[in-house]
Amino acid sequence: MSSRTSRLRAKIAFLLASLAALWAFAAFVTVRDGLTLLWIRTLDSEVGRPTNALVQSVQEERRRSAVYLALAESGDATAKAAARTALDTARQHTDESVAVFRDSVGGTASRWAQSDSTAARLAQLDSQLTALPAERSDVDAGRVERAAVTAFYTGVVAKGYEIFETISVFSDRDINSRLEHLLTLSRGRELLSQEDALISGVIAAGRFSPAEAAEFARIVGAQRYTRQVGVAGLTGDTAIYQPVLDGQALGRFQALEDQIVLQGAGVAPVTATTWRATLDPALASLAQLDIDLADATLDEATGPAVMIVVRLILAAGLGLIAVVASIILSITTARAIVHQLRRLRDAADDLATVRLPRVVERLAAGEEVDVEAEAPPLAFGADEIGQVGEAFTKAQETAVRVAVDQAELRRGVRDVFVSLARRNQALIHSQLRLLDDMECRVTDPTDLEELFRVDHLATRMRRNAENLLVLSGATAGRGWRRPVPIADILRAACAEVEGYHRVVIQPGDAAELAGRAVGDVIHLLAELVENALSFSPPDTTVHVKGARVGTGHVLEVEDRGLGMSEAALEEANDLLRDPPEFKLTSTARLGLFVVGRLAQRHEIEVQLRRSPYGGVTAIVLIPEKLISGRPPASELSLLEAAVALPAAPESRPRVAAATPVALAVRAEPPVRVVTARTPSGLPVRPRPNPPSPPQVRDVRDLMSAFQRGTQRGRAEATETPVEGESNDPATDR
């Protein structure tokens, strides 16, 4: 749940980050407009005004340079000296303006406010100002004409006006349009300054060349057109510019311009006094007009500027408040949701890990379970999570109810298994008793052989019926009170499989098994032997042997069959070591499941290993607490003598040759009932001797001799067994 909680918190944090990003974007757009307003003022003070002062100084130096060059050509020393003094003064003013300009535009505030285009224009202007000393040297040496000098200074002034274009930008479209037209109108004053420089040089030189006349006419036309374009975008400021454009100062100057254009080339068209008296008032009125229009534009920009500030406050202030409120609300809501989800998680974990297993355990123990008490309702409120809690309450109630129903179903199935198995056992036990009586009465060898075959089938049927009891968790009906020799247990286990004649028994050390475990161990070994016989070729044998060890008694069932892979062995050993709960669908390896259940009941260890002969070896370790002492010395010597008997001819089953003890119990003639008993107290069932060839008769004589010898040792075991209880697993079916 912690990872899911972290993901939930991450999602909420992502939403808050998105909200903050949206607020930042809106605030940036608004702040950008506010910054634009702030940058306009900064650019006006740090860039615009120093550039304007520089432009005026350059314009004045341009006029003085043209006059100086014109007087240098005429040869008037006095006028030339006066022009030189005026030129030096103009140059000094220009240098001062250049220093102020460079210091201002290089400041921190100016660099922050500059756009890329403004910075590029400033760099170009600074580059031309760097070339100013070289141009001055050419003027002083007379290596340049007036037109070239005028063109150089005009280029410097043009770069200044390009700077004005980049800094005259406002977010409001109308205000921005007014600023563009104001800049165009201001260019008209630059054209007037160009006229002034041209005519001042003409007056100083005393002649008006055709080229100069043509240039003057071009400048006059451009100046009037520029003024016309500039005022065309200032329709709302007619009251401001109309008196100036229709005034006497500008009218007299325009009349003088017309006169000069009409006169054309020749001598100087006007005196210096007349030119200055006409130009200066017109130039001053146009300069004042630019100031008045700029003030009106700034006044009109106050409203948009206020709106910018208001938007800035709303976007930055109220938006920030909304973001903070959203963060607080999201955090509190997330905590509440996480708390409810944790409660829901804890309830689910408690149901899955505590309550349901407890219900299953109680049901397995046969207790009654109250569904409502085991699945109490979960209260999470009336919101969506509360609705999820209600749905989970229904789900857990259904889960507990289904667990109860399934447990009752399993208990019912188990009871059916037990009932069927008990009924089958009762019938099979009756059948076995009937077969015992018939075997004792029949004298015909063929009929007796058939009866023994039916007896063997009934014995196997009894084991299959006991499988149902094992699967249902009940115990088998067979039981012993006294210990039983291990050799008898091995013979009894082999007698319950179909291919018993392929089993070779090597009892090993004599030992006895506690009576309470005899039936289950016989069943366990029978299942292992049957598996070994089923998964080995029919022409091979299965070896069963036992030996005493330090922790108990070991029985080994070894086959020489197909074998198993390492993965299959590991899986089978896991099943034997910890058999799971049996399900109706668990039909695979049913024998191993039964073996595991039986071994678990008595703490017997069963393990499968690879056999050196290619098959599988099943190792059964019976704990020491189930093993009792060795039998009496007389019994032990008889058992050892029986094991040492020679093998029968190959025509007889291998089990008869390998297990002489099993042959001995049925070696007496069937005509009389043998009252002798086995060491465990059970009567020996006789079998008639069919006609046999001489070799078989020899073996039969040997076995009969062994039988008569053992009868004397068993005569002392005269205790009558409890009714319904047997002590010889080899003869009890």
pLDDT at residue 245 above 90?
Answer: no
Most confident segment among 254-258, 639-643, 670-674: 254-258
Three-state SS for 686-703 is CCCCCCCCHHHHHHHHHH
The residue among 724 and 597 whose pLDDT is bigger is: 597
Superfamily of domain 478-714: Histidine kinase-like ATPase, C-terminal domain (3.30.565.10)
Q: Residue 393: count other Cβ atoms within 10 Å of its Cβ.
A: 17
- Alpha carbon of residue 370 to chain centroid: 41
What is the rounded average pLDDT of the residues 574-593?
Answer: 70
- Judged by DSSP in three states, 628 sits in strand
- Picking from 31-35, 48-52, 406-410, 600-604, which range would have the lowest pLDDT averaged per residue? 31-35
Alpha-carbon torsion (136, 138, 141, 146), positive or negative: negative
User: Comparing C-alpha atoms, which of 376, 383, 374 is closest to residue 340?
Assistant: 383
Task: Please give the pLDDT value at position 650.
Answer: 31
Rounded to the nearest 5 degrees, what angle is found at the Cα of 702, between the Cα atoms of 699 and 706?
A: 140
**Residue 398: which of 43, 390, 210, 137 has the closest Cα?**
390
Q: What is the pTM of this model?
A: 0.46
Q: Where are the domains of the chain?
A: 20-314, 478-714
Backbone angles phi, psi at 203, to 5 degrees: -65, -40
Least confident piece of the model among 158-167, 247-256, 412-421, 578-587: 578-587
| 208 bridge partner residues | 266
pLDDT given for residue 14 in this prediction: 72
In whole angstroms, what is the distance from residue 586 CA to residue 593 CA? 9
308, pLDDT greater than 80: no
| Measured distance CA(685)–CA(436) in Å, rounded | 8
pLDDT per position as a tens digit, 357-394: 777 777 766 677 776 676 677 666 667 777 777 787 77
pLDDT digits (tens, 9 = 90+) for 260-301: 998 888 888 888 889 989 988 988 888 888 888 877 877 776
What is residue 90's predicted lDDT score, i.e. its pLDDT?
92
Q: How confident is the model over 5-23, as a mean pLDDT?
A: 68
Alpha helices in 478-626 (DSSP H): 486-494, 518-534, 566-577, 590-601
Compute the half-sphere exposure of residue 568: CA atoms within 13 Å on the CB side of its CA: 9
DSSP 683: B
Provide the pLDDT confidence category of residue 133 given band limits of 50, 70 and 90: very high
Q: Give 623's strand partners.
A: 552
Q: Is the pLDDT of residue 545 over 50?
A: yes
In whole angstroms, what separates CA 489 from the centre of its chain? 60
38 neighbors 171 (Cβ within 8 angstroms): no
Of 193-197, 302-306, 358-362, 584-588, where does the model show the most confidence? 193-197
Q: Which amino acid is at 681?
A: G
Cα(383)–Cα(82) distance, integer angstroms = 97
Q: Concatenated DSSP letters for 445-468? A: HHHHHHHHHHHHHHHHHHHHHHHH
Residue found by looking up tokens 């001995």 in the block:
664
pLDDT higher than threshold 90 for residue 96: yes
Percent above pLDDT 90 for the chain: 11
Per-residue confidence band for 543, with pLDDT thresholds at 50, 70 and 90: very high
pLDDT tens profile 149-208: 999 999 999 898 888 888 877 666 777 787 788 888 888 888 888 888 889 888 888 888
Averaged over 520-533, what is the pLDDT? 89
Confidence of residue 37 (pLDDT cuts 50, 70, 90): low
**Tokens (6 digits) for 41:** 């003022």
Give me the chain's average pLDDT, please. Answer: 75
Q: Are 489 and 545 in contact (CB under 8 A)?
A: no
Kindly list the strands in the beta sheet with 552-558, ordered across the sheet, starting from the edge strand earlier in the chain: 503-506, 542-549, 552-558, 616-623, 605-610
Q: What is the dihedral of CA 632, 637, 638, 641, to 10 degrees?
A: 160
The answer to whether residues 89 and 118 touch, using CB atoms and an 8 Å cutoff, is: no
Lowest mean pLDDT segment, chosen from 40-44, 110-114, 585-589: 585-589
Q: Residue 659 in 3-state DSSP? A: coil
pLDDT higher for 629 or 328? 328
Determine the Cα–Cα distance for residues 546 and 511; give it in Å rounded to an integer: 9
Query: Using CA atoms, how far apart are residues 125 and 695, in angstroms rounded to an integer?
Result: 136
Q: How confident is the model at residue 639 (pLDDT cuts 50, 70, 90)?
A: very low
Higher pLDDT: 681 or 282? It is 282
pLDDT at 7 over 80: no
Model confidence over 309-362: pLDDT tens digits? 676 677 667 777 877 777 787 788 777 777 877 877 787 788 778 877 777 777
Q: Are 197 and 295 in contact (CB under 8 A)?
A: no
Q: Determine which of 55-59, 426-430, 443-447, 567-571 has the lowest per-residue pLDDT on average.
A: 426-430
Q: What is the pLDDT of residue 93?
A: 93
CA distances in angstroms from 161 to 135, 168, 386, listed in the order given: 21, 11, 72
- Range with the lowest mean pLDDT among 327-336, 357-366, 480-489, 667-676? 667-676
DSSP 681: S
Q: How confident is the model over 602-613, as a mean pLDDT? A: 90
- pLDDT top residue among 420 and 504: 504
Sequence-ordered alpha helix ranges (H) in 644-693: 654-658, 660-664
In this prediction, residues 16-26 reach a mean pLDDT of 72
Please give the share of the chain, as a percent, with pLDDT higher than 70.
73
Q: Name which of 157-166, 210-219, 396-405 the model is least confident about.
A: 396-405
Q: Please, which residues have CB within 8 angstroms of residue 384's CB and are 6 or more apart in sequence?
A: none
Torsion of CA 642, 646, 647, 649, to 10 degrees: -130
Give the model's confidence band at 728: pLDDT under 50 very low, under 70 low, under 90 confident, else very high: very low
Residue 430 CA, chain-centre distance (Å), reads 67
How deeply is 528 buried, as exposed, middle or buried, from its count of CB atoms within 10 A (0-12, 13-18, 19+)? buried
- Report pLDDT for 586: 53
